[in-house]
Structure 1
Amino acid sequence: MSDTHAQTVAYVRDTMLPEQSPPSTAAGPIKWAVENLFSSVLNTILTLVSIYFLWAVLAEVLPWVWHGSWTATSLRECREVIAAAGREHGAACWSVIGERYLQLFYGFYPSDLYWRVNLAFVLMLVALAPVLFSNLPRKMLWFSALYPFVAFWLFWGGSIWTPVVILAGFVLGFLALEYLSKMIGSLGGVIAALLVPVIWWLVLAGPVATGLHAILPIGIEEVESAKFGGFMLSIIIGVTGIVLSLPIGILLALGRQSDLMIVKAICVGFIEFIRGVPLITLLFVASTLLNYFLPPGTTFDIVLRVIIMVTLFASAYMAEVVRGGLAALPTGQYEAADALGLDYWKATRLITMPQALKISIPGIVSTFIGLFKDTTLVSIIGLLDPIGLTNTIRADSNWNGIVWELYGFIALMFFIFCFSMSRYSMYLERKLKTGH
C-alpha cells in the first residue's frame, strides 16, 4: 500500500452508532424470570409445579368469587339463583355483604350519626400523616396530639368538657415534670408527672367537668359502647393500642436497663408478667374483674377497659423489641454520647433511641400487625367486632348457614390494613437506610 493511500484512511470514528435496547433475555421480565424462576433444572420443576398448583386453586376459587349473587335477599333465594344459573352451590352469595356491610363497618352505631365516625376516621388520617411522613409541616403534630381527645368526643359524644378535663390532666403532668424536676430532681419529677394526672383524673376531673358543663353546656348526643361494633371497633382498639404501646414500650425498655433497682424491678416484673399471660385472660380481667378494684359506684366503659388491657399487653412486647434494638447498638455509640457530655435523656433522645428504633422497625411493625389482628379476640367477651357480628348476622333466619362469604370479606379487610402497615414498614426501612 502506498504512503499516499495510507494517509487518506481515517482510523478514528467521527460518528456514533444509534443506541439500541438490550436483548430481551438480558433485561426486563424475561431476564428476571430466567434468573429467579428457571435458573436451574430444580427451580424450573418447582416453578412449573407451583404454576400448576396456583392454576388448580384459582380455577376453583375465581369462578366461585366472580359468579356469585349480589341481588338475593336471603341465603335460600341466593342458592336458587345460583342453581338456576347451572352452578348449584358452586358460587358465593355476596348478597349478605351488600345487605349488611354497614353493620360490619359500624356495628349498631346510630345510622344518623355515621358522620361522626366518618369524620373521626378522616381526622385520624390527618393526625397520622405528620407522624408517618416527615416531609409534612411539623406544626401539624399539635393536631396529632389533640386528636385522641377530639376522637373520644366524636365517638362517645356527651359533654365537650369531659375530654377537656382529661387533656388538662396531661398538661398538669407535663407542668409537674417541667418545674418539679428542677426542685426535687429528675426522678422525683417523673414520679410527680405520673401521680399528678392520676390524682386529677380520679378525684377532681369528674366534679370539674360537671361544673363546667353546668356553666356552659356544650355537647353532642351520647352513644353507649354497647352500640360500637364492626371494623369501627377493631380500628378504635387497634389504632389506640398501636399509638400508645410504642411510647410506653420505650419507657419500659429504658426502665428495664436502668441502674435504679426499684425502677428496673417494676419494669421487669410488669414485662414478664404480661408476656406470661394470654391476651384473652387479660380481656376477661378487663370485662369482669377490673371494676372490683375501682371505688364503689364507679362505672368504667368496657371499651376503654379493653383498650387499656390491649395497650398494656402490646407495650410489654414492644418493650422487648425496643430493648433488642438497644442491645444491638455498638458500645461506641454510648461512649460517643458520654464523650460529647450529653446527659442520659439527651443521649437517649438524640443518639441511642433513634438508632435502636431504626433497627427495630421490622419487629415493631410485626407487633403492630399482630396487635391489630388480636382485636378479633374481643368477640369472646361479648364485644361485637366483625367476627362477633357474624354470629349476629347468621342468627337472622334469612342468612342462617352462611359462613365463607362473611369470613372471606372480613379476612380481605384485615389483609388490606395489615398489608398497608407492612408496605409502610418497607418504605420506612428504605428511607432510613444509610448503607455501609
Structure 2
Amino acid sequence: MADMDLQLTAVASERPPRRQAQWIRTWFGTPGNTVVTLVCAGALFTLGRLVIDWLLVNATFAGTPADCKSATGACWPFLAAKLRYMLFGFYPFEEQWRPLLALILFVGGALVSMLPRLWGRALLGAWFLVLMPVLYILMAGGFFGLMPVPTSQWGGLPLSFLLSFVGLACALPLGILLALSRISDLPIIRILAISFIEIVRGVPLISILFMATVMLPLFMPDGITIDKLVRAQVAIIIFAAAYIAEIVRGGLQDVPRGQSEAGSSLGLHYWLVMYKIVLPQAMKKVIPPLVGLFIGFFQDTTLVTIVGLLDFLDTVRSAMRDPAWQGIAVLEGYLFAAAVYFAFSALMGSYSRFLERYFRTTHD
C-alpha cells in the first residue's frame, strides 16, 4: 500500500516539460537541426534586411520619375500617380467614384453573405433583385442622371470581381445540374452531360474565350452583335461549370446510397431527395476544392485581355508601360497586384477553413 502511495505521489509530482525546453529541443536538439536552424535564420535575416532596405530605407516616397530613376529602392510615387488607373482602367476619371462605390458595395455584400446563418432565399433575392441591379446602374449609368459608360471602358479591379463573381455564381447551379445529369440513370442525359464536361475540360479557357470573341459573331445574324463583356462572361460560366460539375460529382459519390434510398422510402421524389438529403451532404464534403477553384478562376480572369477587356492585372501592366515610368517602376506594380491577389486568396482560404469548422466536415 505504501509503495502504491509513493508511485501515485511520484506521478502527481511529474510536470509536463516546459514549452521553452520543447522549443529548444525542436530547433537545436541535434547537430543537424542546429545547422539547419542557423542557416535558415541567417538566410531569413539577410533576405529581410534586403527587403526592408528596398521597401523603406532606400525607397522614394515622393518625387518624380527622375527621382525614382536615381534611387536604389522602391518607387512609391508610381503607385500614388497610377493607383486610380490601376484600379479602374479607362473608366472616365470624373466618374470613378461610381466603380469605387460599386466595389465597396460588392465587398460589403460579400462579407455579409459569408455568414452561414444569413443564407437563404432572402439573401439570394437581395443579391439578384437589389444589389446586382444597383451595381450595374452604377457601372453602366444611363439612369438617374448618371453618364452612360460603355463596357469597353470598364476595367481594373471591379471588372475582375464582376467576371469572377457573376461567372462562378451562375456556374455553380449549372455545375450542380451537370453533376446530377452525369450520374443520372437516363442514358441520353448522362451521355450529353459527359460529352459537355469532357469537351469543355479538354480545352484551355483561352480557347473558349477566343471562340466566344471571334467565332461566335460569325454565326450571328447580320446587325446583331453581343457585347464582348457578355461573351467573356458566358465563356467563363461554361468553363467553370464543367469543373464544378466534376467536383460536385465527387461529393455526390461519397454520400452513401442508403441516404437517397431512405428518402425515397419516405415518399420523397427525386428532386426533393437531392435538395433536402443528398446535396447538403455532398456540398459540405467539397468545400475545399470548390474554394480552391474559385480562387483559381479569380486569378484566371487575367485571360480576358484576349477579348480586349482590361482586368486588374492588365491595367497594372498598362500603367507600367507609361513612357514616363517605363523601366523605372516594374517590381512595384507587380508587388501591388500580387498583394491584392494574395489578400483575396488568403481571405477565401480562411473562409474555407471557417466553413469546414462550421459544418464540422473534419474529425479534428
Separation of aligned partners in 2, 1:365 and 1:344: 28
Q: Give the drift of 1:342.
A: 1.7
Counterpart among 9, 16, 41 of residue 51 in structure 1: 41
Describe the superposition over 1:171-196 as per-residue Cα deviations: whole angstroms up to 9, x where unpaired. Answer: xxxxxxxxxxxxxxxxxxxxxxxxxx
Counterpart among 89, 113, 119 of residue 107 in structure 1: 89
Partner of 2:349: 422
Partner of 1:70: 61
Partner of 1:411: 338
Whether 1:362 and 2:288 are equivalent positions in the alignment is yes
Describe the superposition over 1:215-237 as per-residue Cα deviations: whole angstroms up to 9, x where unpaired. Answer: xxx66321112211111221111
Describe the superposition over 1:109-146 as per-residue Cα deviations: whole angstroms up to 9, x where unpaired. Answer: 11332232233233324543554212348534421232
- 1:189-338 to 2 correspondence within 5 Å? 220-338=146-264
Whether 1:145 and 2:128 are equivalent positions in the alignment is yes
Determine if contact 2:251/2:285 at 8 Å carries over to the other structure: yes
Distance 1:129 1:77, change over 3 A: closer
The alignment-based identity, stated in percent, is 38
Amino acid at match of 1:229: G
Q: Which runs of 5+ in 1 are unaligned?
A: 1-21, 83-88, 160-217
Amino acid at match of 1:389: T
Describe the superposition over 1:72-111 as per-residue Cα deviations: whole angstroms up to 9, x where unpaired. Answer: 221x32122x2xxxxxx3x111211110000111111113
Distance 1:50 1:322, change over 3 A: farther
Amino acid at match of 1:423: S
Q: Give the drift of 1:246.
A: 1.4
Q: Which runs of 5+ in 2 are unaligned?
A: 1-14
Separation of aligned partners in 2, 1:265 and 1:253: 12
Amino acid at match of 2:351: Y
Amino acid at match of 2:357: R
Q: Give the drift of 1:261.
A: 2.3
Pick 1 or 2: higher relative contact order, CA cutoff 8 A, min separation 6: 2
Determine if contact 2:181/2:190 at 8 Å carries over to the other structure: yes
Whether 1:61 and 2:51 are equivalent positions in the alignment is yes
Amino acid at match of 1:433: R
Partner of 1:157: 141
Counterpart among 19, 26, 29 of residue 18 in structure 2: 26
Determine if contact 1:379/1:387 at 8 Å carries over to the other structure: no
Describe the superposition over 1:301-329 as per-residue Cα deviations: whole angstroms up to 9, x where unpaired. Answer: 11121111111111111111111111112
Partner of 2:326: 400
Distance 1:149 1:262, change over 3 A: farther
Determine if contact 1:321/1:363 at 8 Å carries over to the other structure: yes
TM-score by length of 2: 0.86
Moved more, 40-49 or 53-62: 40-49
Q: Give the drift of 1:279.
A: 0.8
Moved over 6 A (4+): none
CA RMSD of aligned residues (A): 2.4
Larger Rg: 1
- What is the aligned residue count? 345
Separation of aligned partners in 2, 1:140 and 1:246: 16
SS of structure 2 residue aligned to 1:222: coil
Separation of aligned partners in 2, 1:249 and 1:417: 23
Amino acid at match of 2:93: S
Q: Give the drift of 1:432.
A: 0.7
